């Protein structure tokens, strides 16, 4: 009689300190890059100093934001752009922000599935991140992930947002070049353009150029451009391009437009201004996150103020000041 022994559980690899991963990230080591992004996404306190060190090695990459309404074909377009940039000799990084799963809280990995073939063929780094309830079209740790790819030598770094609307334009403070992708056949052309956050675009792209409705949308966009009501720069009239991600039609033209905008930012001096806007937005976003964390940790203190407001013993403004510890400011209200 043979007695089989159950297999021993595999030993877990020893935890590598984040500080030890930094040189590997700077050398472009893919496993180290993936681990650092996971730690940024998980909010590991131990990784804070390493992320700060990584940030000192950033500032070289061209960050390209791809945004637009749901169903416009952003993921398919990103796959085509990966191919176009890689064939031109670029080391491409992609952060694809997905909606959170209602069950696990993780990313619904549609983007990574669509991009996997292009990523494998051209050694592109693709990472999907869940929004985890964060509004604005990006995840809270998106820009830290961009920092890691920047320090590792990736450029351009393409940031694909979730499908967004007019008030969810956080990508404008996260990227140097904003491509707004619109899709024909989603209803009224003007309403679709309005939903496509027209005013933040550096480049307009209309997907599914093989459809008859695409020409009408291009004409509508150009008409609105002629009114002078759109565009993020007085010296850069946003081009309007009809593209087909499936056939590859004019994807090279879009890639060239992205390159031209990057050169324009550097030659015109506008790049420094965009960098200031991006840095300011990151500081304020981090401050809001720290405040929110402080409130979550002091739940009992918050509840005390909630009871006082419910009982009409104080008003919400005074309660907010006291919650922040700004009691001396209460008298000024």
User: What pTM does this model have?
Assistant: 0.83
Q: What's the CA angle centered on 191, arms 190 and 192, to 5 degrees?
A: 90
Q: Where are the alpha helices (DSSP H) in 96-211?
A: 110-122, 142-151, 189-195
192: left (phi over 0), alpha (psi -120 to 50) or beta: alpha
Walk along the chain (333 residues) and give the pLDDT tens digit of each residue.
455 566 666 566 688 999 999 999 999 999 999 999 999 988 889 999 999 999 999 999 999 999 887 778 888 899 999 999 999 999 999 998 875 443 344 444 555 555 666 666 677 899 988 765 444 445 668 899 999 999 999 999 999 987 655 445 677 788 999 999 888 766 555 554 554 467 788 999 988 887 777 888 888 888 877 776 555 566 899 999 999 877 778 899 999 999 999 999 999 999 999 999 999 988 888 888 777 777 777 678 888 889 999 999 999 988 888 887 787 666 655
Measure the CA–CA gap between 95 and 112, rounded to whole angstroms: 10
The continuous run of DSSP H or E covering 317 comes out as helix 316-323
Q: What's the CA angle centered on 77, arms 74 and 82, to 5 degrees?
A: 125
Q: Which residue has the tokens 């990523």?
A: 119
């Amino acid at each position: 009689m043979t007695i089989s022994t159950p297999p021993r559980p595999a030993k877990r690899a020893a935890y590598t300190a984040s500080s030890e991963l930094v040189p590997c990230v700077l050398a472009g080591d893919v496993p180290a890059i993936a681990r650092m992004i996971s730690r940024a996404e998980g909010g590991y306190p131990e990784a804070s100093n390493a992320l700060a060190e990584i940030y000192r090695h950033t500032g070289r990459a061209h960050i390209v934001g791809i945004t637009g309404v749901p169903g416009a074909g952003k993921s398919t377009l990103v796959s085509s752009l990966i191919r176009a940039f890689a064939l031109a000799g670029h080391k491409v990084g992609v952060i694809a922000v997905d909606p959170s799963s209602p069950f696990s809280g993780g990313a619904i990995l549609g983007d990574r599935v669509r991009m996997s073939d292009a990523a494998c063929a051209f050694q592109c780094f693709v990472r999907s991140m869940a929004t985890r309830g964060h509004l604005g079209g990006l995840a809270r740790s998106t820009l830290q992930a961009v920092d890691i790819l920047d320090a590792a030598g990736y450029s351009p770094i393409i940031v694909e947002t979730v499908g967004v609307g007019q008030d969810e334009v956080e990508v404008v403070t996260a990227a140097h070049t904003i491509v707004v992708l619109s899709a024909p056949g989603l209803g009224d052309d003007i309403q679709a353009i309005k939903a496509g956050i027209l005013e933040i675009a550096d480049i307009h792209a209309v997907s599914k150029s093989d459809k008859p409705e695409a020409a009408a949308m291009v004409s509508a966009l150009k008409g609105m451009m002629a009114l002078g009501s759109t565009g993020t720069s007085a010296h850069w009239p946003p081009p309007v391009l009809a593209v087909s991600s499936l056939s590859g039609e004019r994807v090279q033209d879009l890639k060239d437009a992205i390159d031209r905008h990057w050169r324009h930012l550097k030659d015109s001096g506008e790049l420094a201004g965009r960098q200031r806007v991006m840095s300011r937005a990151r500081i304020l976003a981090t401050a809001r996150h720290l405040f929110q964390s402080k409130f979550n940790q002091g739940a009992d203190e918050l509840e005390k103020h909630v009871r006082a407001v419910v009982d009409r013993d104080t008003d919400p403004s005074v309660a907010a000041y006291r919650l922040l510890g700004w009691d001396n400011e209460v008298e000024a209200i």
